[in-house]
Amino acid sequence: MLEKKCRARLRLECQRGAGRALAQPDWYRKIGDLGPDNIAPAQDQCGIGEAPARDCSSGQHTGIGSDRSTAPPAGINRLGRVGYATLCALRSLSHGDSERFAKSWNMPVLRGRQGPRVEALLAWYDVHRRVLPWRAQAGMRADPYHVWLSEIMLQQTTVQAVDRYYRTFLSRWPTVEQLAAASLDDVLAAWAGLGYYARARNLHRTAKIVAGQMAGRFPETAAGLRALPGIGPYTAGAIAAIAFDEPQAAVDANAERVIARLFYVKTPLPAAKAELRARTQALVPQRRAGDFAQAVMDLGALICTPKAPQCPRCPWQEACIGRVRGLVETLPRKAPKPDRPLKRGVAFVVVDAKGAVLLQRRAEKGLLGGMMQPPLGPWGADFPAEYDAMTQAPFAATWIKRPGLVRHQFTHFELEIEVYVAKLTRRPRIQGRWVQAHALAEAALPTVMRKILVHGLGTTTFAPA
Ligand code: SF4
């Protein structure tokens, strides 16, 4: 079946491709890195550029890509690299299929100059690399603490969002030992707003392990790094490559986009992740693995952008199957996201006579684990009626419902919250922490809880109304 499929495709491709080679030899040289010598024999072919192979019949063979032939048909032999380059570069046979096909006909397997050249990418990177606060200068060894900190922060987040947080962390805790000595509360507060708060808790746990059990030295291999809390396969590969030059693939969203386009990977994400990782790993050089990892990321961030990629400036343009096929902006494909359910509930903002606000800590495990919040009711399909809401309040008081509501989007659901406010002359006996309004900005409050407090306090800042 494979051979039949290959040959049927080859028939079509050789006819189309060779026809174009005659009309536009420069184009052909570009896509296949071929010179005039490679193209010249093709011009002698019978039927090239004409209707499907009808003029190529000779003897037993019916022409280019005969289904009955076991040796390369005469047309293919004479087409040589041109026809095969067309096959490889233009159409959807995978590299594996193409290689098996080529071997079955004793044709050269086109690698190297046909594929993406690592040296070309590294040369581009040497000139165009981004300057990032956690990145070592060219030729300098990266600090594993800086690399680890940035890679944990960059999970699910953009470089722009991370920049401020990274600088804050590094100025407060310049070494892993200092981060380990910090309180979890301080770490969570410094992380507030960056989201995915389990990362902050794992960051702190890892800092304690590295500082306490590893004498402040991070493991130098991806396998060793994976044993630490909060370090999955991607992060381990990225840290090992960037900090220790271990030949590991680092496939972030930018790299996924580049590799999906480069190899025309049609499988939608996230199912394509394993293939994209394997294809990236196959490209990783033994030397400058860290630069390679960062170069692919930078290529995705600067050139191979989600919209309007600048292919003419790309060091891999000649090898890029997605570009040749004109389907760049359709890649990578993504599986449709399931609808996010809507959850609703109520929150209670309590202000004492001195303007301090009551906060409570969330459970360690689960959503926003360990972060602070105003008292909340349970979340369900609808808002509770006002009477029911009062039964969810932390204590009896004169609760005033604020007009409007707070909306927030989590990854897997949307949340709407109605906010009730009580102003007290005396603090009730209740578990929690009273935080002065001016200190709320420093509290470990995730974004949704800040929104609730701002709404409840009737202000755009944390100053009380
Ligand atoms: S040629 Fe275009 S699509 Fe292909 S890797 Fe380069 S920028 Fe991306």
Quote the pLDDT of residue 72. Answer: 38
- Quick check: helix, strand or coil at residue 39? helix
| Cβ atoms within 10 Å of 270's Cβ, excluding its own | 12
Instruction: Using the structure block, give the residue that is written with the tokens 């019916």.
Output: 62
Alpha-carbon gap, residue 368 to 341, rounded angstroms: 18
311, 313, 327, 329: residue to mutate for ligand 1 pocket, most atoms within 8 A of CB = 311
Quote the pLDDT of residue 121. Answer: 97
User: Cβ-count burial of 217 within 10 angstroms (0-12 exposed, 13-18 middle, 19+ buried)?
Assistant: exposed
- Of 345, 371, 370, 375, the closest CA to residue 357 belongs to 375
Give tens-digit pLDDT for 27-66.
Answer: 333 433 333 323 222 222 222 222 222 222 232 332 233 2
Quote the pLDDT of residue 460. Answer: 64
- Of 450, 419, 443, the closest CA to residue 370 belongs to 443
**Does ligand 1 come within 6 angstroms of the Cβ of 257?**
no
Asked if the peptide bond before residue 332 counts as cis, ω within 30 degrees of 0, the response is yes
**Does ligand 1 come within 6 angstroms of the Cβ of 264?**
no
Helix residue ranges, H only, 173-252: 176-181, 184-191, 198-213, 222-226, 233-244
Q: Tell which atom from ligand 1 comes closest to the C-alpha of 320.
A: 4
Query: How many angstroms is it from 328 CA to the middle of ligand 1?
Result: 7
Query: How many angstroms is it from 125 CA to the middle of ligand 1?
Result: 15
320, 324, 325, 329: residue to mutate for ligand 1 pocket, most atoms within 8 A of CB = 320
Q: Tell which atom from ligand 1 comes closest to the C-alpha of 257.
A: 8
Amino acid at 33: D
Sign of CA dihedral 125, 129, 133, 137: positive
- Quick check: helix, strand or coil at residue 9? helix
DSSP state of 94: -
Alpha-carbon gap, residue 151 to 174, rounded angstroms: 16
Quote the pLDDT of residue 441. Answer: 86
Query: How many angstroms is it from 314 CA to the middle of ligand 1?
Result: 6
Report residues of the chain scoring pLDDT below 50: 1-3, 6-99, 101-113, 463-465
**Does ligand 1 come within 6 angstroms of the Cβ of 61?**
no
Ligand 1 atom 4: residue of nearest CA: 320
Catalytically annotated residues: 151
Q: Which structural domains are found in the chain, ordered by start? A: 2-112 (no CATH), 120-330 (1.10.340.30), 342-457 (3.90.79.10)
Contacts of 128 by beta carbon, 8 Å cutoff, 6+ apart: 298, 302
Alpha-carbon gap, residue 358 to 73, rounded angstroms: 82
Quote the pLDDT of residue 330. Answer: 93
